[in-house]
Amino acid sequence: MFFRKRLYSLPLILLSFFLISGCGAIEKATTSTPTVAPTQTAKGSLLQVHFIDVGQADSVLVIAPNGQTMLVDGGNRDDGAVVVNYLKSQGVQDLTAIVATHPHEDHIGGLDTIIHSFPPKQIYMPNAISTTKTFDDFITAVNASGAQKIRAKAGVELDVLGISGQFLAPISDQYEELNNYSAVLKITFGKISFLLTGDAEDVSEAEMLKIGHDLEASVLKVGHHGSTSSTTNEFLKAVSPKYSVITVGLDNDYGHPTQVTLNKLANAGVPVYRTDQDGTIVATSDGETVEFISSRLSSTPKPVQPVPAQATDSVMISSIDLRGEVVTLMNRSDQTVNLRGWKLVSEIGNQTFIFPADTTMPGGGVLKVVSGINAHAANNVLLWTDLNIWNNQGDPGALYNAQGQLISQK
């Protein structure tokens, strides 16, 4: 049986001028004010990239060594003032350019306010439009600002003195999903590069791979807030980032970032910075190396722990009965394993079952996790929910330990 949350289901509508379709994003706003101690406006030989904590949304400030500035996205509607204050706190006096990656609210929502306070010389945006009031307000502000409008698409070079950048996407003229119109920008500074992907999904990633762009980058802003719709294995391999940043809101309604994406990054050995955990994240580069600071002291690059061999050898998913809604786990070791904080994930719908604190499996033991209307808890049978979880058409299940490491997949 099948239960799944649709994130974006509004119809796309074809329009004119700067182009195509749009749908309203429904991502949650935040009112938190990021507080990174004013870093000196990058001077001399340093490039700064600020991933501003705007909750479940994107806003990235780039400050070039020569003081030129660029903002990629402006958060949700309520984040406009937050970003304006942040720019002021960083000593930004004007913006050279703004990139509006795509017309979803969590990317352009705050831009009208920001444009009023910091009228940019240039605005880059893809050939995509939306029928939302948020988009109307954005376009009105763009037109009123007198900024030069530049269509962002693959091959377009950034025309900002001091910031070397090229757009790698969008490649096609039309997409079914608005996220795939996302302007993907690669900024290069000496030996260091940043790949800012907006919400580009697997379709756009496949196009970038096919066209043969040099995707390799030191820092990857993980696509679409860490959703399963982005960061395919092939794309991640081609980018082979040394660091990654996920812009995401705490306890957001979308389950972002997903365990599937976190696990891909962990398996690739890529440290992850997250705005929900680390607050605003500032990457500073001299062209040779890149350093990160953030607004929360707890944030150090998360060391990536490889999956311990003994854990993978012990508990495994031995079967998933999709129709019967029964997952069977087996402990193949002769040791008792405590499953406190472990998670079972239905990958298609990204639903997660967290094992209760007192769950243990004796060596050689079997444990079932059941769901659906007829499911009941019993001895060695845990009840997940009375909803149907598993998609009968095929639905991989994954088991993660308390550290978030993938232990078994079926």
Piece in contact with Zn ion (CB under 5 A), picked from 38-46, 47-55, 192-200, 361-369? 192-200
Given candidates 79, 105, 106, 202, which one binds Zn ion under the rule CB under 5 A? 106
Query: For tokens 């980032």, what's the residue?
Result: 241
CA distance 341 to 202: 31
CB of 25 or CB of 345, closer to Zn ion: 25
DSSP code per residue over 75-129: -SGGGHHHHHHHHHHTT----SEEE---S-HHHHTTHHHHHHHS--SEEEE-SB-
Least distance from C-beta 105 to Zn ion, angstroms? 9
Applying CB under 5 A, the site for Zn ion has a residue count of: 2
Least distance from C-beta 321 to Zn ion, angstroms? 36
CB of 241 or CB of 249, closer to Zn ion: 249
DSSP code per residue over 227-286: -TTS--HHHHHHH--SEEEE---TT-TT-PSPHHHHHHHHHTT--EEEHHHH-SEEEEE-
CB of 199 or CB of 278, closer to Zn ion: 199
CB of 199 or CB of 395, closer to Zn ion: 199
CB of 71 or CB of 344, closer to Zn ion: 71
Residue pair 201/232 in contact (Cβ under 8 Å)? The answer is no
Least distance from C-beta 226 to Zn ion, angstroms? 10
For position 205 contacting Zn ion by CB under 5 A, the verdict is: no
For position 73 contacting Zn ion by CB under 5 A, the verdict is: no
Least distance from C-beta 284 to Zn ion, angstroms? 25
Tokens describing residue 356: 């209760």
For position 105 contacting Zn ion by CB under 5 A, the verdict is: no
Least distance from C-beta 85 to Zn ion, angstroms? 22
Cβ count near 31 (within 10 Å) = 11
Least distance from C-beta 123 to Zn ion, angstroms? 19
CB of 65 or CB of 75, closer to Zn ion: 75
Given candidates 53, 73, 105, 199, which one binds Zn ion under the rule CB under 5 A? 199
Piece in contact with Zn ion (CB under 5 A), picked from 104-112, 152-160, 290-298, 395-403? 104-112
For position 201 contacting Zn ion by CB under 5 A, the verdict is: no
CA distance 226 to 259: 9
For position 177 contacting Zn ion by CB under 5 A, the verdict is: no
CB of 247 or CB of 294, closer to Zn ion: 247
CA distance 19 to 256: 29
- Report the DSSP beta bridge partners of residue 273: 245
CB of 53 or CB of 199, closer to Zn ion: 199
Q: Which helix (H) or strand (E) holds 202?
A: helix 202-211
Strands 243-246 and 219-221, sheet pairing: parallel
CA distance 158 to 220: 18
Residue pair 108/74 in contact (Cβ under 8 Å)? The answer is yes
Least distance from C-beta 273 to Zn ion, angstroms? 17
Least distance from C-beta 106 to Zn ion, angstroms? 4
Residues 6+ positions from 157 with CB-CB distance below 8 Å: 165, 166, 167
Least distance from C-beta 339 to Zn ion, angstroms? 34
CB of 106 or CB of 177, closer to Zn ion: 106
Residues that bind Zn ion (CB under 5 A): 106, 199
